[in-house]
Structure 1
Amino acid sequence: MEMILAPWPWYVGGPLIAITMFVLLYLGKNFGMSSNLRTMCTLCGAGKTSSFFKFNWRSQKWNLLMVIGAMIGGFIASNYLGAGQSPDLNPKTIMQLEDMGIESAGIAYVPSEFFGPEAIRDPKVMAILIVGGLLVGFGARYAGGCTSGHSISGISNLQLPSLIATIGFFVGGIVMIHLIFPLLF
């Protein structure tokens, strides 16, 4: 019999994030996931072709460990803490998603139409995922960081640009899901 544990509640996860941020602030570090791409490219020798990648990547080893930890944590969470669970969605939302052809809404944690085996075989879904990934990467670089960097680390540092970027992320998400997504499906 497989034991499935419940995900940690907000009052456990939230303080753990806050403690992590206090430690990083104390150590003078800024947290963000998108900066790791630059670090990995530099590690692989990209500094030979672009000055953007010429920096001391060893100073970011701790952040690479955060990525490895996030990957391990994601694996543990998806396989042991939330396996078989689905988010509680409003029935109206489920109906709207089903009208767009997303039959796994309310059943699966992530839509299998985008992240299941059939998504790999569908050129439209693959194109959307690739273009979306490129746009997210460009946006993170253009905004000077990703949602985790700005929304968690930047706002913790009381940085106005991070607050503005976070507001932009939410506005962009609302525009995407309400205006653009229905046009794609």
Structure 2
Amino acid sequence: MHLILTDAAPIHWAFGGAAISAITLALLYIGNRRLGVSTGFENICSLVVRTSYFTRESLVSSHSWRLPLLTGLLLGGVLSALLAGGWETTWALGMFDAEFGWGNGGKLAWMFGGGLLIGFGTRLAGGCTSGHGIFGMSNLELPSVISTVSFMAAGVVTTNLIYRVIL
């Protein structure tokens, strides 16, 4: 099996799982920190937005470790793409284009709307899939179990609606 966009052979999933678990354990046992990426978005916003929500101590004090974590995630993606032969932007969305044909503006609006819904769900659940699904589940936290089951169920229902009913 090859990757969709670059036709490169993927790295075995177990290596990714081991890396995620190592980062999670290091954050917990070394730094007493919780893995989660949605709060990292708040960290980035706090660099430019000066409201009380973005200047609260609990957020600003996490800059020293969360911003390097986010930078590492970004650089890891860039490095992965470079090692796979580079990347190029594309507006090709396969089946979506064939069924809807909305053009680039329509696709941009669709993705923006999806991003808003993801952001709303993240705040509603009190965290993102990485925070709940990786860190919270590994600690058997009930809110994380409920959130993760909800994320997964919504994904299954949405995928089946789109690919079996709409398309």
Q: Tell me the CA shift for residue 78 of structure 1.
A: 2.4
Quote how far apart the aligned CAs of 1:81 are. 3.4
Q: 2:114 & 2:166 partners in 1: Cα distance?
A: 12
Give how far 1:137 is off: 0.8
For the 8 Å contact 1:41–1:53, the answer to whether it is kept is yes
Identical-residue share of aligned pairs (%):
36
Q: Match of 2:113?
A: 131
Alignment of 1:18-37 (within 5 A): 18-26=21-29, 27-37=31-41
Displacement of 1:82 after TM fit? 7.2
1:153 aligns with 2:135: yes
The 3-state SS of whatever aligns with 2:62 is helix
Letter in 2 for 1:13: G
Per-residue deviation, 1:179: 1.2
Report what 1:13 is aligned to.
16
Q: Is this contact kept in 1: 2:43–2:66, CA < 8 A?
A: no
Distance 2:116 2:26 in 1: 32
Alignment TM-score, normalising by the size of structure 2: 0.76
**Alpha carbons 1:21, 1:156 under 8 Å: kept:** no
Shift of 1:183: 6.7
Label 1:83 to 1:39 Cα distance change in 2 as closer, same or farther (>3 A): closer
Partner of 1:101: 98
Residue 65 of structure 2 corresponds to 62
Alpha-carbon distance in 2 for matches of 1:82, 1:135: 33
Q: Distance in 2 between matches of 1:54 and 1:184?
A: 44
Residue aligning to 1:94: none
- C-alpha separation between the residues in 1 aligned to 2:41 and 2:21? 24
Relative to structure 1, the CA distance from residue 138 to residue 15 in structure 2 (aligned partners, 3 Å threshold; closer, same or farther) is same
Q: TM-score, normalised by structure 1?
A: 0.69
Alpha-carbon contact 1:31-1:148 (below 8 Å) kept: yes
For residue 45 of structure 1, give the secondary structure of its aligned residue in structure 2: coil
One-letter amino acid of the structure 2 residue matched with residue 55 of structure 1: R
Quote the offset at 1:68 in angstroms: 1.0
2:147 maps to which of 165, 168, 173: 165
1:80 to 80, 83, 101: 83
Q: How many correspondences in the alignment?
A: 152
Q: How much is the aligned-residue C-alpha RMSD, in angstroms? A: 3.0
Gaps of 5+ in 2: 1-6, 88-93
Deviations, residues 73-92 of structure 1 (Å, cap 9, x unaligned): 111222323769xxxxxxxx
Give the Cα–Cα distance (whole angstroms) in 2 for the partners of residues 9 and 18 of structure 1: 15
Distance 1:55 1:178, change over 3 A: same
Letter in 2 for 1:53: F
Structure 1 gaps, min length 5: 85-96, 103-112
